[in-house]
Every structure is written in structure tokens, then in C-alpha cells.
Amino acid sequence: MEQMMDQKIQVVHKRLDAFELRVLDRPALTIDVTTFQTELTSLCAEVVALLDPTDTAPEAATTAEEDDVVMTTLFGHAMPPPDSSCVVGKRHCSDHTYDADEARRLKKKERKQFEVAQMDSILNEERRQQRVREVYVGPSGISSTTDDAPIVGEGTTDGVPSVDPTSSGKLDPPAS
């Protein structure tokens, strides 16, 4: 037995030696230091250029003309005239109602999907808690319901002690 272990150890040592020789035979990676340095300096210069805030000269031209255009565009036109009294109470039959119906359907569909996802989440959490309980207690079919119940005494069952799982203190009724 001891000889067999020595042989196995020798085989392992031979394999380790062969591996070391293969690693030592590999050519070392050559790094061109000058190329590396030039690439590093160009990279540093790019980083500095990105991090430095750009010098922006303040605008010499005033923006008054642009402000005037914006103000006239927003507030220059008079308000549109109010709708006539006969049109005020009527509903429009246009694509707007279709958009509202479609939006309502989409909202209902999203709500249903949310409810389904919420129920799935609740069920997954219950399953996870059940698995945790089974890990600590064991499967629910294995646990006994009368392990911690007090033994009341011997009844009419030929010397077999009666167990009171509800701890009511009453004995089982005699069997007829």
C-alpha cells in the first residue's frame, strides 16, 4: 500500500516538473517601452483635454432679437374666438374618442398585468418561506402533530396512554 502511494506521488512530481519545463520554455513577452510610453502620454493628453473645462468666450451679440422672436411667437397672436354657443355642448365624433378608449384599454391591461405580477410575487414569497420552513423543520408530512401534546393518562385503551393534542384536559370518550 505504501509503495503504491509513493509511486503515485512520483507520478505527480514528474507531471509538475514537466509543467515547469513547459512554462520556462515559453518566450517571455516583450514590451516595447518606448511605444508604451508614447501611447501612455497620448492617452494622458486626451484625458486632460476631456477633463479641462473649455474656455468659452461670452457672447458679444445681444440676444434681444431672439427674445423678441420668441415672445411674439408665444404671445403675439390674439386668442382664438370662443366657440359658438351651439357647438359648446356637443361632443366631437373624431379620433380623439378612439384614442381615449384605447388609452383606457391599455391602462386596464397594465393594471391586470401588475395584479398578476403582484400575485406571482406573493406566491413566490410564500413558496420561498415554505422551503425555508422545510429546511429547518423538514417536509410538512413528516412533522408529528402530537409531539408536544401532554399525555393525559391511561384510559380504557388497554394501558396505552392517551394524548390530548388540544390540551383541554379531557380524556378521549370510551369506544363502544
**Distance separating alpha carbons of residues 10 and 18, to the nearest angstrom:** 12
Q: Say if 164 falls within a structural domain.
A: no
Confidence of residue 116 (pLDDT cuts 50, 70, 90): very high
Q: Is the pLDDT of residue 155 over 60?
A: no
Q: Say if 152 falls within a structural domain.
A: no
Tell me, what's the pLDDT at 12? 94
Q: Is the pLDDT of residue 21 over 80?
A: yes
DSSP H or E stretch at residue 154? strand 151-154
Q: Say if 43 falls within a structural domain.
A: no
Tell me, what's the pLDDT at 163? 57
Burial class of residue 152 in the structure, from the number of CB atoms within 10 Å of its CB (0-12 exposed, 13-18 middle, 19+ buried): middle
Q: Say if 166 falls within a structural domain.
A: no
Tell me, what's the pLDDT at 107? 92
Q: Say if 21 falls within a structural domain.
A: no
Q: Say if 117 falls within a structural domain.
A: yes
- Which residue has 474656455 as its cell numbers? 55
Average pLDDT, the chain: 75
Q: Is the pLDDT of residue 141 over 80?
A: no
**Distance separating alpha carbons of residues 34 and 12, to the nearest angstrom:** 43
Q: How far is CA 4 from the centre of its chain?
A: 54
Q: Say if 132 falls within a structural domain.
A: yes
C-alpha cell at 161: 396512554
**Domain range for 123:** 112-140
- Total domains in the chain come to 1
pLDDT tens-digit readout, 42-93: 998 888 888 887 665 555 556 777 777 777 777 766 556 566 666 666 666 6
Q: Say if 162 falls within a structural domain.
A: no
Mean pLDDT across 140-153: 56
Q: Give the gyration radius of the chain's Cα atoms.
A: 44
165: Cβ contacts below 8 Å, ≥ 6 apart: 145, 146, 149
162: Cβ contacts below 8 Å, ≥ 6 apart: 151, 152, 153, 154, 155, 171, 172
